[in-house]
Structure 1
Amino acid sequence: MESMMEAAGRSGRTKRRKWPWLMLTLAVICGALLGAYYYIVYMPNTKHVQPDFSGKKKPVFYQGGMLEDQALGQKESLKLSFDTVKERIDPSLIYEQSSESTIITTQDKVVRLRTSELTGMLNEKPFNLKFPLEKSDNRLYLPIDPLKELYGVELRESEETGAVFLFKEGETVEWYKTVSFPDKPDKMIPMRSDPTIKAPIYADLKQGDSVMVWKDTGEWLRVQLPNGYLGYVLKSQLMQDHQETIPKQGPRPPFVPKQPVTGKINMTWEQIVTKGPDTSKIPAMPGLDIVSPTWFQLEDGEGTIKNIADPAYVKWAHTNGYQVWALFSNGFEPKRTTEALSTYDKRMKMIKQLLSFAQMYSLQGINIDFENVSVKDKQNLVQFVREMTPFLHEQGLIVSMDVTPKSSSESWSMFYDRKALSDALDYLMLMAYDEYWASSPKAGSVASLPWVEKSVVDLLKEDKIPPNKLVLGIPFYTRVWTEEQKDGKTQVSSRAVFMDMPQRVIKEQKLTPVFSPETGQNYVEYKEDGKLNKIWIEDETSVKARMALVRKYNLAGVASWRRGYESPEAWNWIRSLLETP
């Protein structure tokens, strides 16, 4: 029998013989795992895939992004979709369904293009197109020639793939080129679909190939080839080449009116209902530059304008050194306004009448006063102004528009797109009055100083209106508020009065005005026939306080509503502050 010692020795030798095999097996497994890990993590993907531009035959790219709509045609017949032009080039572009017209407005041009027609209208003068507007797949496409001329855009087309590149004037493009390997002249640089070596390859780039760089993601750069292919290349495999700036069109000459206003504007409105005033009875108005008679009014929804202009008034104004910026009103009729603004033809009808009147009466400007407008007409009102201004400027006329302070009232305030209007106009007249209006259930100032200042600041800061385009409108009137107790309730009524009326009441009633810090105005109250009368006074104090706001915010000037309501001294109050350096 085998002893226990011998059995134990044999078992130990068996275990020692198995141990190297176990170690070898583990080493093989670890090596395989490490190899697999290296392959998964470090071995680049060599698979090639072909970019398909999401199935588009004529993809359009802007700043490294592919746009939703593709292009039509090629070379000279190339066309961009209406939506592409509106989204990327001109947000103010409009399409009018009723007449199948596309309308483009720039600082000095109004262009109308009709679908399928080779004749367009530029400032109402015909011009020829090489290629017409075209509809395809329920989309409207615009030819590139007018786009290049009007906007200074540049389009480049790849003969290889049909891809189209859109560039705007003044933009820059960063060009890089792939690095060179002198010892490996045949080495290719992969452009991958994503910023990782595991992404498939879109294209193999030769050494020295040029690419546009759109984004730096750290280790990788997002690049685009001249054929439109977009992908990623390792930053270490690219080097900066040059920066390209898209050329700008020649500078557009600024509009210069025939008779410019020097210094701050000092304008007053002349309210005319049926017949003009006897100019021989109008007293001197020292410092006044401009009169704005309310001569023109929208008469119907077709765009007909009622004209009550007076050549004798114009002669008087010019003799006294005043410019005439005739006022054009919508009559404050919302339905009529909606209809008149609804089509290009109606808007152009109004514009042509105003041009004719301006020439007929030797006007220097048109002042637009559209009030009580439906908020749905907000964009049509902007379009009307955008279309009007180039025509009036062409005739040397200054274009201004009256706007109210900002509020939540749709028909009084919210229908004004003040920023868009300001961009098209020479001046905005802020009608900073009627804080408390005629039928207000509560008595208050027509225009307290804090309210006026807030109205100015809102336009300057929120709407970004340039101060040299903003004219402060001030009231030459106030209201006598009457409070009467009936059935335990206070009933409020008011009547508008000229500036001199409160001064007469003060003398007759032997009153002492009290300055109200809350309104920045002098205030009186008195009883008459058992009723309490309240007046926030418009006088030297309030007028000079408003002029101080013009100076504080460096506004373009002042406009007053209206001539005939003022105290004679008001002109000197205004002039003393407007002309002070």
Structure 2
Amino acid sequence: MLVLAAMILSAATVFYWYQYVPTSRHENPDFNGLEKPVFYRGVMLDQSAIGTQESLKLPFTTVQELLDPTMIHEEATDSTIITTQDKVIRLRTSQLTGMINEKPFDLKFPLEKSNDVLYLPMEPLKQLYHFELRESPDTGAVILVKDSDTITWGKTIGYPNKPDRTIPMRSGPLIKAPILAELNQQADVMIWAVEPDWFKVQLTNGYMGYIQKKHLMQDRTESIPEQKLPPAFVPARPINGKLNLTWEQVVTKTPDPAQFPPMPGLNVVSPTWFHLADGEGNLKNLADPAYVKWAHSQNIQVWGLFSNGFEPKQTTEALATYDKRMKMIKQLLSFAQLYSLQGINIDFENVNLKDKDNLVQFVREMVPLMHEQGLTVSIDVTPKSTSENWSMFYDRKALAESVDYMMLMAYDEHWASSPIAGSVASLPWAEKSLTRILQEDSVPPSKLILSVPFYTRVWTEERVNGKTKVSSRAVFMDNPQKAIEEKKLTPQYLPEAGQNYVEYEEGNKRIRIWLEDEVSMKARMDLIKKYDLAGVASWRRGYENPKIWSLIQQALNE
């Protein structure tokens, strides 16, 4: 009986020891093999830093992930390219000279490649981004802190009667977990997580572990102040606050403005002057100083249009490297200065989907340099669709973050070779197109411009071999009026299209026209008012009924 009692007592002792007696076993903390680990918000990143103090360098992927996801490294030119609101920075690996807005500046320490990892010097980046690097002199660990971050600090409790007592930091939230460090009383630690009886903490030397709540009290919260950004570029805006832009199509020679009818309310013209000539980034220039002189005499701004020529192959080549992109940008800057332009309108269409990111990069590199010269930058985009070369290559959200204005080309719902006849831009289709961009891509209404057609299509349907053959031709706004008068037609309003419609027979052919007129234009202007858009753009000058200008002016003034 006594033996049994002793066995029970022994088992109870073992159980108590196992459950309630903390282990005193120690382990040396480590950083999983990293020589100079980098931490952010209590998480150790995959790659080490190199260097120390002012020569400290972080891996490119770390900087990209934590400081600027838009930063790129271009393998073709071994360049790291950083774009901010007002700067374009190019850093070449192993070189001590960088470029800011195409002006050279000196680096104390170059970019460096080691074991196929690219490292960026931190000193110049501190001028661009607001962050701190807290480097431990003991372990070399680096703790990165960004502006607007908060850090909760704790302090180990004190035992006045036991001044030599230490506080264990363990490898896990268990009393049986090995002790990684013995902390002094009143020691500061960062608290990164809270568990039922434990705090997950980090020491200033980078080591992390767990301390029981009974040994630690929350002490203070450190808030890293948010740094103020420089004021954003404000494009020169028309007096009435709404843009009224029209495109001037120039094929070989700019038309004579002396022949233009009055265009009341027009405040921006965008002539199609600049075109990508080849894959090397050379541009073709059709600009006319006399046209600029006329526009300025009418208090009309001139935003030269820059087109990629709708050639996907040469567009791919020209966007491929920083040098080619900058070659295009520098030519545009030169043209803008030479002709006293107020802006550049980018019109890239028929672009390969694989060039989506490169187009964004081109715009990000272009805008700071344009703004430096006081130029407004706008870009034309199509409605959203599943067509890769027509629509999907536009990253509208990213583009809108850079440009001053985005023109939604809300037309060609039914295009020239459409298999079925229909409106160039029915009102429900146009409205859906603009609301999708506002909602899905977070484009601010203050940047979005509704582009409207000054043309329509005359559709011909005829039966050929038992099937309906459809063809069309684009015509000026007033062109259908002649047929309406000669044939004594009465336009019919189609609520489902939001515009007037006529049709008539010519032999065995049926002619169908969804009219662009004062009715459709008034409805489009109502959309601009409804969504408080930045204004209107029209394709193109010369196709319109002259009375349309007064209608647009009145609607924008309202």
- TM-score, normalisation: structure 2: 0.98
2:205 to 192, 207, 227: 227
- Matches of 2:325 and 2:188 in 1, distance apart? 51
- Matches of 1:549 and 1:233 in 2, distance apart? 61
2:308 to 307, 330, 346: 330
Amino acid across the alignment from 1:390: P
Amino acid across the alignment from 2:512: K
Equivalence for 1:62: 40
Give the drift of 1:260. 5.9
Listed one character per residue, the Cα deviations across residues 252-309 of structure 1 (whole Å, up to 9, x for unaligned) are: 1221345666511111111111111110111111111100000000001111110010
Equivalence for 1:385: 363
Q: Does 1:473 align with 2:451?
A: yes
1:557 to 511, 535, 539: 535
Equivalence map 1:172-183=2 (5 Å) = 172-183=150-161
Q: Does 1:442 align with 2:410?
A: no
RMSD: 1.4
- Matches of 1:29 and 1:448 in 2, distance apart? 91
- Matches of 2:77 and 2:213 in 1, distance apart? 53
Q: Does 1:112 align with 2:98?
A: no
Equivalence map 1:202-351=2 (5 Å) = 202-257=180-235, 262-351=240-329
2:462 counterpart SS class: strand
2:241 counterpart SS class: coil
Give the drift of 1:425. 0.8
Q: Does 1:30 align with 2:17?
A: no
Q: Does 1:49 align with 2:27?
A: yes
- Matches of 2:139 and 2:240 in 1, distance apart? 58
Q: Does 1:490 align with 2:468?
A: yes
Equivalence for 1:14: none
Listed one character per residue, the Cα deviations across residues 200-223 of structure 1 (whole Å, up to 9, x for unaligned) are: 122122221111112223332221
For the 8 Å contact 2:265–2:553, the answer to whether it is kept is yes
- Matches of 1:491 and 1:52 in 2, distance apart? 76
Amino acid across the alignment from 1:185: P
Distance 1:26 1:520, change over 3 A: farther
Distance 1:531 1:221, change over 3 A: same
- Matches of 1:97 and 1:251 in 2, distance apart? 31
Equivalence for 1:418: 396
- Matches of 1:522 and 1:260 in 2, distance apart? 32
Listed one character per residue, the Cα deviations across residues 451-492 of structure 1 (whole Å, up to 9, x for unaligned) are: 111111111111111111111111111111110100000000
1:300 counterpart SS class: coil
Amino acid across the alignment from 2:383: P
For the 8 Å contact 1:213–1:221, the answer to whether it is kept is yes
Give the drift of 1:398. 0.3
Q: Does 1:131 align with 2:122?
A: no
1:505 counterpart SS class: helix
For the 8 Å contact 1:259–1:364, the answer to whether it is kept is no
Equivalence for 1:358: 336
- Matches of 2:117 and 2:35 in 1, distance apart? 16
- Matches of 1:397 and 1:136 in 2, distance apart? 41
Distance 1:236 1:576, change over 3 A: farther
Give the drift of 1:239. 2.1
More helix per residue: 1 or 2?
A: 1
1:198 counterpart SS class: coil
- Matches of 1:188 and 1:451 in 2, distance apart? 72
For the 8 Å contact 1:446–1:479, the answer to whether it is kept is yes
Amino acid across the alignment from 1:548: D
For the 8 Å contact 1:147–1:153, the answer to whether it is kept is no
- Matched residue count: 558
2:446 counterpart SS class: helix
- TM-score, normalisation: structure 1: 0.94
2:10 counterpart SS class: helix
1:167 counterpart SS class: strand
- Matches of 1:415 and 1:259 in 2, distance apart? 29
Structure 2 unaligned residues grouped into runs of 5+: none
- Matches of 1:297 and 1:50 in 2, distance apart? 65
Listed one character per residue, the Cα deviations across residues 359-385 of structure 1 (whole Å, up to 9, x for unaligned) are: 011100000000001111111111110
Distance 1:449 1:390, change over 3 A: same
- Matches of 2:116 and 2:355 in 1, distance apart? 26
- Matches of 1:298 and 1:374 in 2, distance apart? 15
Q: Does 1:513 align with 2:488?
A: no
1:442 counterpart SS class: coil
Listed one character per residue, the Cα deviations across residues 141-171 of structure 1 (whole Å, up to 9, x for unaligned) are: 1100121111122111001111011111222
- Matches of 2:199 and 2:239 in 1, distance apart? 54
Q: Does 1:87 align with 2:60?
A: no
Distance 1:398 1:204, change over 3 A: same
Moved more, 79-88 or 212-221: 212-221
1:431 to 387, 409, 416: 409
Q: Does 1:459 align with 2:466?
A: no
- Matches of 2:425 and 2:189 in 1, distance apart? 62
- Matches of 1:533 and 1:402 in 2, distance apart? 32
Listed one character per residue, the Cα deviations across residues 205-244 of structure 1 (whole Å, up to 9, x for unaligned) are: 2221111112223332221110001112223332222222
For the 8 Å contact 1:160–1:227, the answer to whether it is kept is yes
Amino acid across the alignment from 1:294: T
- Matches of 2:5 and 2:221 in 1, distance apart? 55
- Matches of 1:255 and 1:72 in 2, distance apart? 37
Listed one character per residue, the Cα deviations across residues 171-212 of structure 1 (whole Å, up to 9, x for unaligned) are: 222212112222332222222212222221221222211111
Equivalence for 2:170: 192
Moved more, 142-151 or 36-45: 36-45
Q: Does 1:541 align with 2:523?
A: no
Amino acid across the alignment from 2:436: D
Amino acid across the alignment from 2:510: L
Equivalence for 2:502: 524
- Matches of 1:548 and 1:260 in 2, distance apart? 20
Equivalence for 1:5: none
- Matches of 2:349 and 2:72 in 1, distance apart? 23
For the 8 Å contact 1:325–1:365, the answer to whether it is kept is yes
For the 8 Å contact 2:200–2:208, the answer to whether it is kept is yes
Identity %, equivalent residues: 65
Amino acid across the alignment from 1:362: S
- Matches of 2:208 and 2:270 in 1, distance apart? 59
Give the drift of 1:347. 0.7
Question: Larger radius of gyration, structure 1 or 2?
Answer: 1
2:428 counterpart SS class: helix
Give the drift of 1:504. 2.3
For the 8 Å contact 2:89–2:98, the answer to whether it is kept is yes
1:55 counterpart SS class: coil
1:482 counterpart SS class: strand
- Matches of 2:191 and 2:427 in 1, distance apart? 55
Structure 1 unaligned residues grouped into runs of 5+: 1-20
